[in-house]
Amino acid sequence: MSEPVIFTVSELNGCIKSMFEHAPYLANICVVGEISNFTNHYKTGHFYFTLKDENALIKAVMFKTYAQGLDFVPQNNMKVLVYGRVSVFERDGVYQIYAVNMERFGVGDLYLKFEEMKKRLSAQGLFDDIHKKPLPKFPKRIGIITSPEAAAVADMKNIISRRYPLCEIHIYPALVQGPFAPKELRDGIRHFDSDSKCDVIIIGRGGGSIEDLWAFNDEELAKTIFDCSTPVISAVGHETDFTICDFVADKRAPTPSAAAELAVPDIYDLKKQLALLDSSINVSARSILMAKYNALGVLKERQSLKSPMFYVDK
């Protein structure tokens, strides 16, 4: 046996990196997988994530230069196509994908269907501002249609209770994903709209892929919201997510938490406004009373009031 070659750690990692970079089939690859451990590094703008399937995973990085060219924001559990090369990060001795582009996998047909539906319903006038109903300033009852297990429910209840504890909160449990979800969402709208059970309705869920949010792109749900006499706030996904439900609703909130803030006033702001009004009324009342008092003082000094014989003597 020949004597082993002695490397430093840096030399070994450099050698392995050179092997990776001189393998032509690793220089231009396309990998399909599901995103996990996604981090959008706020200082550098780089994306760091893991790409996985049911049997394995690989680390990946997309630098800011390429990341800012994407037309969507990657999220955990999103299935994507990643284009780039495989190389080694020498410092850590880790091989990973250096991504130069990324596409959502399998959403092309759904995206086209979404755009076609959006165009058709817009032509029918379902999105026109003239049909948008104003939100009540001081709602007594709010109906929330979503999954009762969702974290968004607790957030909305906490925000509404803190901002405006005078308001009642009613939850209509509904599926927010899958083939049976659209019907349950429609039933929730009709339930709260019947007999004016609520002053405003919030319908929504947390973020997800376009497949996860597809129940909110249901055409019948859009028409049910359009026909609803109670104002509806749509709060589906994150700020960058848009659904048909968002366009037809009377108000679109970027997140469920934001919907809760839109639905009710802040009682502390109301107290401040009332305090200012009270102070303003007191100042105005004092000013009026002082003016009347001064006017009365002028009248008291008139000679005709001091001497009843004033006009007789004249």
pLDDT at 98: 95
> Pairing mode, if any, of strands 79-89 and 141-146?
unpaired
> Pairing mode, if any, of strands 29-40 and 79-89?
antiparallel
Model-wide pTM > 0.75: no
Confidence check: pLDDT of 32 > 80? yes
Q: Spell out the residues 6+ positions from residue 58 whose beta carbon is closer than 8 angstroms to its own.
A: 31, 33, 50, 51, 52, 95, 96, 97
Lookup result for tokens 């938490």: 257
> How does residue 197 score in pLDDT terms, banded at 50, 70 and 90?
confident
Using one digit for the tens of pLDDT, what is the confidence trace for 256-282? 999 999 999 998 888 888 888 988 899
> How does residue 78 score in pLDDT terms, banded at 50, 70 and 90?
confident
CA distances from 29 to 14, 84, 94, 215, 245 (A): 21, 6, 18, 34, 38
How many C-beta atoms surround the C-beta of residue 105 within 10 A? 15
Average pLDDT over every residue of 49-63: 91
Instruction: Report the distance separating Cα 221 and Cα 145, nearest Å.
Output: 13
Average pLDDT across the chain, whole number: 89
Instruction: Report the distance separating Cα 228 and Cα 248, nearest Å.
Output: 11
Residue 233 CB-density burial (10 A; 0-12 exposed, 13-18 middle, 19+ buried): buried
Kindly provide the b/e burial profile for residues 72-101, where b requires at least 16 CB atoms within 10 angstroms of the residue's own CB: bebbeebbbebbbbbbbebeeeebbbebee
Q: Which residue has the higher pLDDT, 15 or 239?
A: 15
Residue 292 CB-density burial (10 A; 0-12 exposed, 13-18 middle, 19+ buried): exposed
User: How would you list the strands of the sheet with 168-173, edge to edge?
Assistant: 168-173, 141-146, 200-205, 232-236, 251-252
Nearest to 211 by CA among 177, 242, 256, 254: 177
The phi, psi pair for 206, rounded to 5°, reads -75, -175
pLDDT at 114: 87
- The top-scoring range by mean pLDDT among 8-22, 99-113, 218-232 is 218-232
